[in-house]
Structures are given as C-alpha cells and as structure tokens.
Amino acid sequence: MRKLNILLPFALLIATSCSLEQTKESTPIMLKIGGPMKNSNEEISGMDWYNNTLILLPENLNGYAFAIKKADLDSRIINGDTSTITPKKINLNTPNYKKLIPGFDSFEAIGFRGYEVYLTIEIRFPDSMSCLLARGHIDAQTLDITIPEQNLTKIDVPAFVDNMSYESLVIDNDRIIALFEANGDSLIKDPYATSIISTGNDILKYKTSSINYRIADATRVDDNNCFWAINYFFPGEREILKPGNDILSSKYGKGLSHSKSERVERLVEYKIHNKKVLLTNTPPIEIKLEGDKTSRKWEAIAKYEDKGFLLATDKYPKPYTLFAYLPRF
C-alpha cells in the first residue's frame, strides 16, 4: 500500500503534464535564394514534393514554376552550407486562362499524385468568388508541367469572402481535398472541405473544423492521415476575416512573441477520417514573429523529412521572397 501511495503522485503528475501540453514557438532559419524567385513579385503561393524535387508555384500566369533539388536543401539544412540556392525555372504549360476564364485571378495551390499534378485557380469578381481545379502531368525528365485546356473542375466556395477561395490541396489516395481559406465561425456556420475524385467527376463535402484566420497551404498527408497547414493572420484583415475567440490559443496558450502581438503565424495539424477533415489535439507550432510590426505572409509549405517544414512567402514582406526551414523542436 505504501508503494502505491508513492507511485500515485507520479502518475498524477504524468497525467497532468500530458493534459497541459502547450504551444511552442520555433525560430525559422532563413535559406538564401537567388535568381528570379528571390523577387517577391513572383508571389509564391504553393509547394509540393515531386520525388526528390521541391516544386514551387508562383501565383501569376507567367509560364513557369520553380524547382529545388532535395540534395541542395540537405546541404544547407543538415551540413550547414550557407551558399545561395538558385531555384531552377521549369515550364508550366497552360492555356491562356486570362482569355479562357472570366475572372481569372491566380494560381493558389499545387499537389502531386505520382506524375499527375493538380492546381487550384482562383476566380474573382467584385461580388463573388469561385475556384477551378486543374489537372495535368509532369515530365519525369524535364520536370515540365502541362495542363490541358479541358481538364477543369469547378469548385464552389462555401461563402463569399473577398479574395479568398481554396489555397490548400491535400491528396488522399484517389481524392483531392481542397481547403477553403477562411473557416471562422463568424463567416461560415458549417465549414467544409471539398473532396474531388482524381478524375474530377465526383465531388463531396467533408466536414472541417472552424478556425480563425487564413488557411494558406498544407503539407502532404502522412501515414496517419494527418497533415499540417499554415494558419496566418495580418491584423489589417480584421474586417474581412472577423475573427472571434481563438480557441486554439485559449486551449494551448501562446509563445512569447505571439503573446505580445495580434499577428498570427502558426502551423496547425489536421486529420482526415471518415469523410471529415478535423483539427487534431496536437498543439499548434508557432513561428517566432519578426520584430514588432512585420507580417510575413507565409503562403507555401512542405514537410522536410520528419525534422521540420519548408516555408515560403508570397508578395509580402517586400521586396524579397522569404524561404525558410522551420525545425520541429
């Protein structure tokens, strides 16, 4: 009985510690980049792995994307090489969507399923938003990406939020799951992700979690059917996003830099299960903020092995694209 009394406090301590798991901040390690991608006007909006090459998608209809070999990333992240990475331009062969699609605004997300490639296209009008899923393929040798004109599937948005549509794609076997950018409960009563079969002819709605702020991009799905997404907030968008109480910070707390700012730069984890895409009980990973006012608009993410994440900004902050490795503690 005495042994039991001694062990009991330790058991309670362990249980309490698990229940009080808190958000941690991770400091991004900036990787030097050169060439055209260095200019933030390229507006990087998504990234994904194709075999051992990281493909980065610019927002603009300019006929190219960028590629970085994993070996080049390994030398910087693992071996401490501080030299500049110059991403390779690869051809992005598409129809002239500005002429073909009324309201064409931008490319937003990219995902690979073997040699198949999927892109989301944002459609913007003054009083409405929409999205198209485009399907094509990548050449294994040249890395050229080709999107045929006819391979388009319309995706309706769950609500009109100006300049917001589907900025994240995850691929779950033969289904392409698109996440709407704004899922706060003040904007959408019953948020959902849109699940499209790879052929584009079957569309389902998967219930998803309410969450404040923007969902800007997502990683690949892992073996547990989980993935991470960028959750970002620039205080100047308060009137657009109308954020309510932040349940995640109430539950898991905030890191030091986030506790002093209204800005939010963090990663949140989701799990796909039973036709639902819901937040897990894993605390968010906050990206340590820069200075007192700078908002880094992280728009692209990919996992780097099991060690951490690769991140890229779009147009802001100007004038340079930020490309970073974020360690996972």
Q: What does the pLDDT profile of the chain (329 residues) look like in tens digits? A: 444 444 444 443 333 334 458 999 999 999 999 999 999 999 999 999 999 999 999 999 999 999 999 999 999 999 999 999 999 999 999 999 999 999 999 999 999 999 999 999 999 999 999 999 999 999 999 999 999 998 999 999 999 999 999 999 999 999 999 999 999 999 999 999 999 999 988 999 999 999 999 999 999 999 999 999 999 999 999 999 999 999 999 999 999 999 999 999 999 999 999 999 999 999 999 999 999 999 999 999 999 999 999 999 999 999 999 999 999 98
Beta bridge partners of 268: 229
Instruction: Note whether 43 and 58 are within 8 A (CB).
Output: yes
Please tell me the distance from the alpha carbon of residue 99 to that of residue 277, in angstroms, as a whole number.
Answer: 35
Please tell me the distance from the alpha carbon of residue 322 to that of residue 39, in angstroms, as a whole number.
Answer: 9
Structural domain boundaries of the chain? 24-327
- Tell the CATH topology of 24-327: Tachylectin-2; Chain A (2.115.10)
CB atoms within 10 A of CB 127: 6
241: tokens are: 């996003």
The amino acid at residue 262 is E
Confidence (pTM)? 0.92
